[in-house]
Amino acid sequence: MAQIRSFGVLQTAKFIGTLYAAVSALFAVPIALIGVVVAAVTDKPGGYAIVLVVFAPLVYGLMGFLVAALGAWAYNALAARIGGIEVEIV
């Protein structure tokens, strides 16, 4: 068994933040398109759809970055005291 002793806080946060931004963009674009169609059919303003496409990936990416940085830092602090997660590498 091998032990994960620590994570690079900044690298982990960058990776997770980018991943969250990309995944949210995949979902934001179709939802925004649906919002534009609904707005056109119902004659209601649909400006929120553009806001969703622009800001959802930014917000999810930033929050993913912050939470991943905090999580990696907490893991490193705890792993230093009680040991890291054990994995079997084949």
pLDDT digits (tens, 9 = 90+) for 32-63: 888 888 878 887 776 677 778 889 999 999 99
| pLDDT surpasses 80 at 81 | yes
Q: Count structural domains, the chain.
A: 1
Residue, of 1 and 51, whose pLDDT is higher: 1
Angle between helices 9-42 and 48-82 (to 10 degrees): 160
Cα separation, 49 vs 34, whole angstroms: 8
Domain that holds residue 13: 2-87
Paired tokens of 47: 């400006």
How far from chain centre, in Å, is Cα 71?
A: 13
